[in-house]
Structure formats: C-alpha cells, structure tokens
Structure 1
C-alpha cells in the first residue's frame, strides 16, 4: 500500500495531466468558441468524449487517490464529512463527464440539466470539504492557504451565479475557469502537503493500521 508521500506525488501528477488535457481540449475545438463567454462544458460538448471529458475523469481519480492518502493519516473528527464531500465532488465530476450539456445556444435538455446540477454539486462540495480539510492535523501547515482558497472559490462561485442569471452570462467562462483553477488549487495544496511528510511519518502509520 503506497504511503501518503507517494499518494501526494501521484495526485500532483494527476492534476498536471488533467490541466494539460484541458489546455489541449481548448486548442482543439472550433476557433469560433469564446473561452470568456462559454463554459468548459460548452467546449467539451463540441468534442464529446474528448480530452476535456478525460481531464474531468482524471481529476476525479486524483481526488480518490488523495482520499486514500488522507485515510492513512490521523483523521480529524470531521473525517467522515470530508470523505462525503470529496466523494460528492468526485461523483459530480464523473457525472458531468458522462452526461453532456447542450450545444451553446440550444434549448436545455434533461441531460443538460443533469450535467448542470452535477457540476453545481461538485463546485459547492469541494470548498466545504476544503474548509474542513484545513482542520486536519496533518494539513496544519497548509491551513491558512486552504481557507484562503476556499473563500476565494466561494466568491468566484457567487460571481458565476450572478453571471448565469442577472448578469446575462457576462464573462461566465472566465468566472468558471477561475473558480475551477481555485478549487483545483485546493487539491494541489493537499497533495503538496502530503508529499512533505517524512518517510518515517508514513512508515509509522502502517503498524498502527495493522494492530
């Protein structure tokens, strides 16, 4: 069973792969699509089953790896809630990857609504989970960073909600990309903190689990 340092490195690699796939997906789609006015889902539906969908799956699996690593540390009292919230983030990502939204400008379909609300669940679950992660004893060095990222992500989520409704989708693509960047930074912060654990700390956990 891999130690938490190895899990952290694996997660950082997964985040890097997901970011690379997302960039490639943006470069491959129709040049007429405006990234500031259209969401990543709008880009993904133009290349259904392509690299952007793959990036979402990779990011979900990366989160599963982080959950595995955190289980090998000393869990806080909120450990169960953290697992449920990160699990909701994973489920939301996978569902959004599997169920496409509608083409830009088209009438919302049932699958589009499923995609939308799966994304909403994911976007809300990760910040709440990130706030609880800041209380994790093994993530204490990153607590302030995690809380800052969570607050920023909630502000950006509010901006995206404003854009989607009263704002007539003004710069909704920019708001969403900044939101995703901030939330992925939460995962990257957790992964980076796990990589800084010493081998002795990881090794000390194994006997306790087998006792």
Structure 2
C-alpha cells in the first residue's frame, strides 16, 4: 500500500516559537499597562515617546519588557533557522538579529532626559531604536519573500498578515521621512513636524504585529513535505 505522510515542524521548533510568542505578548502587555498605571499614566502618549517610561519610577518595568522583547525575538530567529525558514547566514537572519540587538540597546542605554540635556547614552539609545525599526521590516520582508516563492506555503494567512504589517511599517516610515524633510525645508524643527509619541507607538504596534504573526505561524506550523512510504503487508 502506498501512503503519504506529512512531516510536522519538530517539537523544539514549536516550543521555541511558542516561548517567543508568549514573551512578545507579555512584553506588549507590560508596556501597554504603563499607559494606565500611575505615575506613567500621566505622560502624554501623543507627544512623549514610549522610552520616556524608562525615565520614570516604573523604568524597571519598561526596561524589563524591552529586554524580554529582545530575548523573545532572538528565540524566534533560532526557531526560524531550525525550521529552515531562514538560513543561518542570510539577510533575514542578520536583520532580525539586528532588531533584537537594537531593542537590547534601547533598554541598556537610557533615553535623553531633555530636562538635563543631551547625553551619549541618549544618542546611543536613539541610534539603537532606529537600527531596530529599520532592520525588522527588511528581515521580515526577506523571510516572507523567500517563503512565498515556494510551491507550498504552510500558514499562508499568517504570512500574508505579517506581510501587511511589514509593508504598512515601511510605508509609514516613508511618510514620516517625507514629513520631516518637508518640515526642514520649511525651516521648522523636525520633532515639531510629527507627534513623536503617537508616531513611535504606531511603529511599535506594526512591527510587533509582524513578530506575533511569524511566531504564531512557526508555533503552529506544519511543514508540507510529503514523502511516499511503501508498506508491504
């Protein structure tokens, strides 16, 4: 008798992806909670960046959540490599790792406290966040593009959702660059051209949405790799 079996993603891959997903969700809930819990609830989310929570009495919650997000992102990269969705050395792997490193830098180096003035740590913090925000859509785009070129695409719905979040983040960043350039040409300060707090929050939601889709897809993925086995009875 000729039978066809379907090989599922290995348990370690699913477990790593599930841990990654849980960490990303917990980190997101922790940061969201800072919007409603005093004293951070008094910060204006429209103008104040999320990193401003790191300067508050609850800075340890913010930093812990960012570190958890970075570690969870690294777990996801490992799961993607083990599941052969990414090669160990590829644009996707490097860029997704850079996202995690950038997030770690955001937690390690405190945002500039403008009540005191510019600082080296604040400059590193800003650079790390820019690297992270740029690296994630590049890495995710590479992964999604590679997956969609295959004849069979497990978890296509989640992959398409990740693509929507990725494209949205790129389009939004392009819009922000245009807004800043327009403000500079008009002689205005760039930070007056956009609501910094709202801008960062939208980008974070879009990019974390990418991670959640990829982690969920990998955690429940079924690798469609049919193989024929002949059984003699």
Q: TM-score surpassing 0.5?
A: yes
Structure 1 pair 132/49, CA: closer, same or farther in 2 (3 Å)?
same
Which residue of 150, 160, 165 maps to 2:166? 150
More helix per residue: 1 or 2? Answer: 1
Residues 1:3 and 2:3 aligned together? no
Contact 2:76 2:215 in 1 (8 A): yes
Residues 1:172 and 2:222 aligned together? no
**Deviation readout 1:74-105 (Å, 9 max, x if unpaired):** 24569521111011111111111010012245
Q: Could you say which structure has the greater relative contact order, defined with CA pairs below 8 angstroms and 6 or more residues apart? A: 2
What value does the CA root-mean-square deviation take over the aligned residues? 2.7
Contact 1:133 1:139 in 2 (8 A): no
Residues 1:195 and 2:219 aligned together? yes
What is the CA–CA distance in structure 1 between the aligned matches of 2:16 and 2:86, rounded to whole Å?
19
Segments of structure 1 that go 5 or more residues without pairing to the other structure are 205-211
TM-score calculated relative to the size of structure 2:
0.76
Contact 1:24 1:51 in 2 (8 A): no
Segments of structure 2 that go 5 or more residues without pairing to the other structure are 1-9, 148-152, 184-188, 227-233
Contact 1:4 1:197 in 2 (8 A): no
Structure 1 pair 166/148, CA: closer, same or farther in 2 (3 Å)?
same
What is the CA–CA distance in structure 1 between the aligned matches of 2:106 and 2:79, rounded to whole Å?
25
**Deviation readout 1:114-150 (Å, 9 max, x if unpaired):** 1000100000000111101102436661443222211
Bigger radius of gyration: 2
Where does residue 44 of structure 2 map in the other structure?
Answer: 34
What is the CA–CA distance in structure 2 between the aligned matches of 1:139 and 1:28, rounded to whole Å?
44
Contact 1:86 1:125 in 2 (8 A): yes
When the two structures are aligned, how many residues end up with a matched partner? 201
